[in-house]
Amino acid sequence: MTAIDDRVTGIFENLEVPEGFKAELIRGEIVMMARPDMVHNLIIRAIQHQTPYARWNALTTQDVAFPREASEPQPDLVVFERGAAEESGRLLPAPAVTLVVEVVSKTSAHRDYRTKRELYAEGRIPAYLVVDPIKGVCVLLTEPTRLASGEPDYAVERTAKFGDPIPMDLLGITLDTSEFRTYS
């Protein structure tokens, strides 16, 4: 990290976020967004409830740390195996994470589909699920890799409509999306 990255990280760590907003540090940029709406929250709740509690932690509002990267995103849901990381502190190391979930909003589409896709692939997070209530689809990305250009990405991309089941082999479940709704 550079001195500028260190300063931004320091500012981010001490940032007082106004009520009703959340903040993330994405590639050296502090991004603030309004808290999610009911559709978003119900989708996250449905995924949490399907994640086997005996083996997995499925957390909201958990910041993730990326080595050598000025980024501390707060995915909508972070899933990691129990015992894979110390269960205290503000930051969860990216190598401990098995799945991140982002629910797309009207203002986050580019970040969720592009910026975070690259960031999570760079961090070698095995699975990234993009849930899009605008389009009514889920995109499951697995097998982080590097393209011929050297850019990080995922080798496998599977898209399913809301209502279609999604095999989540890493978690040992098939995700039921029948309760997922689109924004009104």
Calpha distance 137→115 (Å, rounded): 19
Burial letters 125-140, b for 16+ CB under 10 A, else e: bbbbbbbbbeeebbbb
* Residue 6 pLDDT: 61
* Residue 34 pLDDT: 66
Which pLDDT band holds residue 37 (cuts at 50, 70, 90)? confident
Which pLDDT band holds residue 22 (cuts at 50, 70, 90)? low
By percentage, how much of the chain surpasses pLDDT 90? 68
Q: Is pLDDT of 4 > 60? A: no
What are the distances in angstroms from CA 25 to CA 10, 88, 152, 163?
11, 20, 19, 33
Calpha distance 5→29 (Å, rounded): 9
pLDDT in tens, 76-104: 999 999 998 887 888 999 999 999 999 99
Chain mean position to CA 153: 14
Q: pTM (2 decimals)? A: 0.84
Mean pLDDT value across residues 152-158 = 97
pLDDT in tens, 42-72: 999 999 999 999 999 999 989 999 877 778 8
* Residue 165 pLDDT: 98
The residue ranges of every structural domain in the chain are 36-175
Number of residues that make up the chain: 184
Q: How many CB atoms lie within 10 A of CB 179?
A: 14
Q: Is pLDDT of 18 > 90? A: no
Mean pLDDT value across residues 139-160 = 97
Which pLDDT band holds residue 126 (cuts at 50, 70, 90)? very high
Calpha distance 84→82 (Å, rounded): 6
Q: Reply yes or no on domain 36-175 having CATH 3.40.640.10.
A: no
Q: Is pLDDT of 3 > 50? A: no
Q: How many CB atoms lie within 10 A of CB 10?
A: 10
* Residue 71 pLDDT: 83
Mean pLDDT value across residues 29-42 = 80
